[in-house]
Amino acid sequence: MSVIITDNLTKRFPRVTALDRLTVDVQPGVVGLVGANGAGKSTLIKILLGLAPATEGTARVLGLDVATEGGAIRERVGYMPEHDCLPPDVSATEFVVHMARMSGLPASAARERTADTLRHVGLYEERYRPIGGYSTGMKQRVKLAQALVHDPQLVLLDEPTNGLDPVGRDDMLGLIRRVHAEFGISVLVTSHLLGELERTCDHVVVIDGGRLLRSSSTADFTQVTQLLAVEVTDKQSDPTLDTDKALLEALAAAGLTAKADGGRVLLVEIKGEETYDLVRDAVADLGVGLVRMEQRRHHISEVFSYDQAEEETAHV
């Protein structure tokens, strides 16, 4: 059964179109929603929670119509907003108990579920201290806990890794994986970083300017977007030689697809393990120094520029 279905979903504000005929079908699992700031992610979440009406089109969450069954949806769905939403002067336990009761759990069940949920997201003794003293990582865990405390069937996580350091980011992504793998709760997680969602999600939906850019399983995505960034030095014996251009030619001759990204970095599509060897050989043959060779952490803007570049070449 689909968790989220939207059909021609459109949301127009007086000045902007936030969502433009968006049609997606989200299956159970961890689904990433990727888009730059202002791409329409938050608007989509608001509509899915039944809090804002769509201008056109329909959407169903867990089989319920967002336009008429908002209340029933909000009983079964958890939501973690992007921004700060925690009062600093109460403890995590007090706050999550309160939110559990707001979800309709009786007082005793609310306390029990709060203790369970806070343990699952990794908050232990500190849960009795006021939230004001928590680190960003701990606050994000409290926000996740309040979204899970009523045992929803689906959670909507808006930029859960925002503001976290790399370790905190990995912890949060691991936790999100567990929400589905161990708790059996479907997840829709938004981010503007495609790279981190590739590792976490089963399926990724990319939207831009409210339009669906791409919706595919993570495996497909990785194939298309795995890139190797290569940067080389000038040739010492012949400083006038354009080594980038020479390397591009050499790589093309070796059967690789590569292009300059505007700076000194060349982006090479990874076809398999042998790509690394081919690049190394081409650089060695040219006799230049290799400054870097690294797998790219894709930023969403690259996917866009790639698509636009592809479209342009298609038109030419």
Partner 1 sequence: MSEATTPALPEPRADVIHDIGYRHYDGPRLGRSYATRSLFTLSLRGSFGLGRSVKSKILPMALLAVICLPALIIVAVSVYTKLSKYPETASYPHYLSIMQFVIAVFVAAQAPVALSRDLRFMTLPLYFSRPLTSRDYVQAKFGAMASAIFVLTGLPMLIMWIGSMLASMDFGYNLEHFAYGLVAAAFYSLLYAGIGLVISSVTPRRGFGVAAIIAVLLISEAIAGIIYAVLHVHGHASGAGWALVISPSSLVATTVDWLFGLSSRGDGPHVPSDLGGFVFLAEILVIAAASFWLLVRRYRKI
Contact footprint for partner 1 (CB under 8 A): 49, 51, 71, 74-75, 77-79, 81, 83-89, 98-99, 101-106, 109, 113, 116, 120, 146, 150-151, 182-184
Q: What is the DSSP letter of 27?
A: P
Closest CA to 279 of 263, 261, 301, 256: 256
Q: State residue 50 phi and psi, 5-degree precision.
A: 75, 20
Nearer to partner 1, 175 or 213 (CB): 175
Could you tell me where the DSSP H helices lie in the chain? Answer: 41-48, 70-76, 92-102, 107-120, 136-148, 166-181, 194-200, 218-225, 243-253, 274-286, 300-315
Residue 102 or 253 with smaller CB distance to partner 1: 102
Indicate the residue among 29 and 195 with the shorter CB distance to partner 1. Answer: 29
Nearer to partner 1, 185 or 283 (CB): 185
Contact of 35 with 80, CB cutoff 8 Å: no
Closest approach of partner 1 to the CB of residue 135, in Å: 17
Query: Residue 89 CB, nearest distance to partner 1 (Å)?
Result: 7
Q: How far is the CB of 208 from partner 1 (least distance, A)?
A: 24
Tokens of 95: 């706050």
Closer residue to partner 1 in complex, CB, 104/289 = 104
DSSP readout, 190-241? EES-HHHHHHH-SEEEEEETTEEEEEEEHHHHHHHH-EEEEEEPPPSS-TTS
CB of 16 to partner 1, least distance (A): 17
Which H or E run contains 8?
Answer: strand 4-12
CB of 54 to partner 1, least distance (A): 16
Output 33 or 105, the one with its CB closest to partner 1.
Answer: 105
Give whichever of 19 and 157 is closer to partner 1, judged by the CB atom. Answer: 157
Report the distance separating Cα 122 and Cα 119, nearest Å.
5
Q: Using alpha carbons only, what angle is made at residue 93 by residues 92 and 98, rounded to the nearest 5 degrees? A: 100
Q: Which amino acid is at 45?
A: I
In the bound complex, what is the minimum distance in angstroms from residue 111's beta carbon to partner 1? 12
How big is the chain, counted in residues?
316
Give the SS3 label for residue 105. Answer: coil
**Helix, strand, or coil here: 67?**
coil
Q: How far is the CB of 98 from partner 1 (least distance, A)?
A: 7
150 versus 298: smaller Cβ distance to partner 1: 150
Residue 13 C-beta: closest distance to partner 1, Å: 12
**241 φ, ψ (degrees, to nearest 5):** -65, 135
Element at 291 (helix H, strand E)? strand 290-295
Shortest distance in whole angstroms from residue 122 CB to partner 1: 12
Nearer to partner 1 (CB atom), residue 132 or residue 289: 132
N-to-C CA span, the chain: 42
